[in-house]
Structure 1
Amino acid sequence: MELHDLKLNLTELINNLTLRMDSIADSFKSLQLAEANERLAYFIDDISVVAEVVAILKSAYPLLDLDELNAKLSTLLEQSENEDYLYVADLISYELKPLLEYWGELLQDA
Structure 2
Amino acid sequence: MSNEKLIHETIQSIEEFLPKVSHSCLIITEQIRSDNESQAMYHINQFIAAVEWLTQAINGIKSLGYIINIDTKEINQHLLETKEGLENNDLVLIADMFEYELYPMLEGWTNEIYQYKGE
Fold match by TM threshold 0.5: yes
TM-score (norm 1): 0.91
Select which of 67, 74, 88 maps to 2:73: 67
TM-score (norm 2): 0.85
Deviations 1:8-27 (A, max 9, x none): 11121111111222111111
* 1:62 Cα offset (Å): 4.2
Partner of 2:84: 78
Structure 2: gaps spanning 5 or more residues: none
How many positions carry a matched residue from both structures?
110
The answer to whether the 8 A contact 2:68-2:112 is kept is no
Alignment partner of 1:66: what SS?
coil
Equivalent position of 1:93 in the other structure:
99
Return the alpha-carbon distance in structure 2 between the equivalents of residues 97 and 57 of structure 1. Answer: 23
Alignment of 1:2-81 (within 5 A): 2-58=6-62, 59-81=65-87
Q: Contact 1:31 / 1:85 at 8 angstroms: preserved in 2?
A: no
Runs of 5+ unmatched residues, structure 1:
none
**2:105 aligned partner, one-letter code:** L
RMSD between aligned alpha carbons? 1.4
Runs of 4+ in structure 1 deviating by more than 3 angstroms, as ranges, are none
Letter in 2 for 1:84: D
- SS of the aligned residue for 2:29 comes to helix
Structure 2 CA distance, aligned partners of 1:75 and 1:83? Answer: 12
Query: Deviation per CA, 1:22-69, whole angstroms, max 9, x where unpaired?
Result: 111111112211111111111111111111112112342342111111
Residues in 1 aligned to 2:15 and 2:67: alpha-carbon distance in whole angstroms: 13
Q: Deviations over 1:72-103 (max 9, x none)?
A: 11111111111111111111011111111111
